[in-house]
Amino acid sequence: MPTKLGIIGGGVMGEALLSCLLSKGMYAPDSIMVSDLSHERRQLLTEQYAIHTTHSNREVIAEADTIVLAVKPQVFDSVMRDFSGATVSEPPLVISILAGVALSRLEKAVPGWPVIRAMPNTPATVGCGMTAIAVGSRALSEHMELAHRLFSAVGEVVQLTEPLLDGVTGLSGSGPAYVAIVIEALADGGVASGLSRATANKLALQTVLGTAQLLQNTGMHPAVLKDRVTSPGGTTISGIACLEELGLRSALIEAVRAASSRSRELGKASN
């Protein structure tokens, strides 16, 4: 890994990346620096991870060879003003995780610098994220590989072209909310069938987790697993018939499409 990683914005996502990179030994504490406006955040990150923190984004820009932008999209313009006039011998790689900020806007803010756009999701905060990355016109294969390795610290990574990031937003970005609703609804069904709330929650959560793990570990197609647990005239086929009648499958398809299309609209408005 390169020598110095700078993270601008030490909030939820900045800390998730920081903590996983350190715990996996991908960076040493003295190779990571974080800038954040909040004194409390800086103090907490320094105490917890023994890293250098600063209030100055310019210090990070001057010293890091890879910079992760992890602030809210609303402060993008003000943060990018800190980049103007920066004197660097070799332009650092800038990786932005800001939702909805296009590569063209990033490249305009740091002309001539290599940039990459990454879109992680909330499970990254527990190291089980899904990140999609799209590379800018100046990024080389070594930059792409570096971004890939960085985000593999917080889960799985795929590389896509930028237009597909709206679909990513609709699926893996918004997906944790859909899955949370599915888990909640399964538990409600358990309670309706006489289970205590605590037992129903535990069963619902472990069923979703275990099924995902089984599919991932075996590489089995979901339809094959569904067929395996569906015996003729049995309980599961009765449940599935109900799901099909009430439209779970098409509801999820439409939810992903609606969220993707909303992402496209918001992107057009803000870039």
Ligand X SMILES: NC(=O)c1ccc[n+]([C@@H]2O[C@H](COP(=O)([O-])OP(=O)(O)OC[C@H]3O[C@@H](n4cnc5c(N)ncnc54)[C@H](OP(=O)(O)O)[C@@H]3O)[C@@H](O)[C@H]2O)c1
List residues binding ligand X (CB under 6 A): 8-14, 35-38, 41, 57, 70-73, 75, 78-79, 97-99, 120-122
- Select 172 or 201, whichever has its Cβ closest to ligand X: 172
Q: Is the dihedral of CA 105, 97, 135, 150 positive or negative?
A: positive
- Please name the residue that has the structure tokens 């740091």: 110
Q: Work out the end-to-end distance of the chain between its first and last CA atoms, rounded to an integer number of angstroms.
A: 32
Instruction: Spell out a b/e string for 51-77, using b for 16 or more CB atoms within 10 Å of the CB, else e.
Output: bbbbeebebbbebbbbbbbbbeeeebe
Instruction: Say if CB 2 and CB 59 are below 8 A apart.
Output: no
* Sheet strands (E) in 9-58: 32-35, 52-54
Q: Which residue is nearest to ligand X (CB)?
A: 11
- Select 190 or 260, whichever has its Cβ closest to ligand X: 260
- Select 20 or 187, whichever has its Cβ closest to ligand X: 20
Q: Smallest distance, Å, CB 153 to ligand X?
A: 15
- Select 136 or 175, whichever has its Cβ closest to ligand X: 175
Q: Smallest distance, Å, CB 84 to ligand X?
A: 14
Instruction: Say if CB 122 and CB 107 are below 8 A apart.
Output: no
Classified as helix, coil or strand, 72 is: coil
- Select 114 or 155, whichever has its Cβ closest to ligand X: 155
Q: Smallest distance, Å, CB 17 to ligand X?
A: 9
Q: Smallest distance, Å, CB 107 to ligand X?
A: 18
- Select 97 or 200, whichever has its Cβ closest to ligand X: 97
Q: Smallest distance, Å, CB 250 to ligand X?
A: 27
Closest CA to 97 of 123, 110, 115: 115
- H helix and E strand count, the chain: 12, 8
- Select 108 or 226, whichever has its Cβ closest to ligand X: 108
HSE at residue 207, side-chain half, CA atoms within 13 A, is: 15
Q: Smallest distance, Å, CB 266 to ligand X?
A: 11
Q: Smallest distance, Å, CB 125 to ligand X?
A: 7
Q: Smallest distance, Å, CB 189 to ligand X?
A: 28
Q: Are strands 115-119 and 52-54 parallel, antiparallel or unpaired?
A: unpaired
Phi, psi for 112 (deg, rounded to 5): 85, -10
Residue 31 corresponds to which amino acid?
S
> Which secondary structure element, helix H or strand E, spans residue 155, and what is its range?
strand 155-159
- Select 11 or 91, whichever has its Cβ closest to ligand X: 11
- Enter the DSSP assignment of 238: H
